[in-house]
Structure 1
Amino acid sequence: MSGRTGGRPELVIFDCDGVLIDSEPISLARLTENLQRIGVPIDLATVARRFTGTSMTSIMAHIATDYGVPTPEGFVDAVRADTLRAFDAELQAIADVAAVLETMPDRRCVASSSDPQRLRHALTLTGLLRHFDGHVFSATMVSRGKPFPDLFLYAAAQMGVAPEACVVIEDSVPGVAAARAAGIPALGFCGGGHWSHDRAGADLLAAGAVRVFDEFADLPHLLGTWDRVSR
């Protein structure tokens, strides 16, 4: 397994929702409406605060514990289908993502809480799938999702890179916490449509991000000056 050989990270691990694609406003709204449909007394602000960046398995475990509402049969599949339909109508890539990925020389992969079908659908829909050469990893591939480190450690191992030679790009507190638990430094991205940028920056820094940024076009500079950024 390779380690860092120079100033830049050996591998850039991207979260997907809220980092590559501006999906969180769509998916959080669909999740909220579907939870309300099965009798969960929850609003969009609470769903966004508690569940952004969290896998559906973890979300439904919290719903059962905190609200006493068990997951109805077929509910998770129904939410996924509803979200994919909304993606078809509304989903866009984060501004400048395609241009940055086109030119950045770094090895990269995706490690997301979303299921593989949703990941492939969203990345294909936005034209971004080709930039990852099949290196797309889902929380369904590991025992525990974010904020546990399992997914990022799995992605690094699959790519043959030591955790300390990677950097994670994350937009959520659970994601930054997972990176930190994995021993991987994280850059916090707060340019997605679901966050107040000021609040997001403070929350991501408090979770352990080494730096935050809200314009994706700034990423090449951050990676190119990584020795200074990561201190």
Structure 2
Amino acid sequence: MPIQALICDCDGVLIDSEAVAARVLVRELEARWPGAAVAPVLMPLLGQRIERVLGGASEALGRRLTPEDVDAIRAVAETEAAEAPLFPGVSAALEAVTLTKACASNSYAAVVRRVLERNGLARFFNERIYCADMVARPKPAPDVYLAAAQGLGVAPDGCLVVEDSVAGVSAARAAGMTVLGFVGGAHVGGDAHALELREVGAQEIFDDMRALPALVADWIQKAEARAQ
């Protein structure tokens, strides 16, 4: 089926926020768990819901967080990450892509809407925002991407996704979508991350949002050729 929609993750794809969130999470956990080696266990968990990241870090380190700790850390991380800058060229890239666009995020819908409004990106997505608090299971489950396809009235194999995390790529692939892996974020640590995205199903890897229109055009051309 020809590609009919472009679905973008928010954090780490539209705004360079994952490094900010990671910094906050490490800082907050180190303050609560003096002497714990937080960063090595936390960084591979990025891309999942903050609650899951904190739960995974707690389990790996044999530490405990109260529900109040989790709520407080999430609030600080979301506040600081929301102030992160746009990736260079992202507005022009979205303007150049003529496909219907949606945003599918593991964050809360209210947070994503605020971020898109603040950065002038809301006009590209309007109400086509699908978030983890709107579905039963967050990424890496496919629920949010399946909800996006259903909301758009597009078959999953007609959707092209841009993702930056293993959890996100896994979710989109499980939904039956083609994925472009973006590795331009400050949180990405070299070639290993690109390899991880390829291993879970990203078909192309890129690190500059200004390349997105050409990548989309290439996938449209290939999809249309297969459909003939």
Question: Normalised by the size of structure 1, how large is the TM-score?
Answer: 0.87
Cα distance in 2, alignment partners of residues 142 and 216 from structure 1: 28
| Contact kept in structure 2, 1:190 and 1:214, CA below 8 Å | yes
**Equivalent in 33, 37, 44 of residue 27 of structure 2:** 33
- In the other structure, the counterpart of 1:173 is 166
| Correspondences of 1:3-152 after superposition (within 5 Å) | 4=1, 6=2, 9-39=3-33, 41-49=36-44, 51-87=45-81, 90-152=83-145
Query: 2-side partners of 1:204 and 1:73: how far apart?
Result: 32
Deviation at 1:172, TM superposition (A): 0.6
Point out where structure 1 has 5 or more consecutive residues left out of the alignment: none
Give the partner amino acid of 1:33. Answer: R
Paired residues, number: 223
In the TM superposition, 1:151-230 aligns within 5 A as 151-226=144-219, 227-228=221-222
Work out the percentage of aligned pairs sharing the same amino acid: 36
CA distance in 2, matches of 1:191, 1:147: 21
Once the 2 structures are TM-superposed, how far is the Cα of residue 70 of structure 1 from its aligned partner?
4.0
* Regions of 4+ moved over 6 Å: none
CA contact (8 A) 1:191 1:197 kept: no
What amino acid is the match of 2:42? V
Q: Which letter maps to 1:153?
A: L
**Structure 2 unmatched runs, 5+:** none
Deviations 1:124-144 (A, max 9, x none): 222212221121111111121
Q: TM-score scaled by structure 2? A: 0.88
Q: How far did 1:117 drift?
A: 2.8
Pairwise CA RMSD of aligned residues?
2.2
- Give the AA of the match of 2:216: L
Preserved CA contact (<8 Å) 2:89 2:209: yes
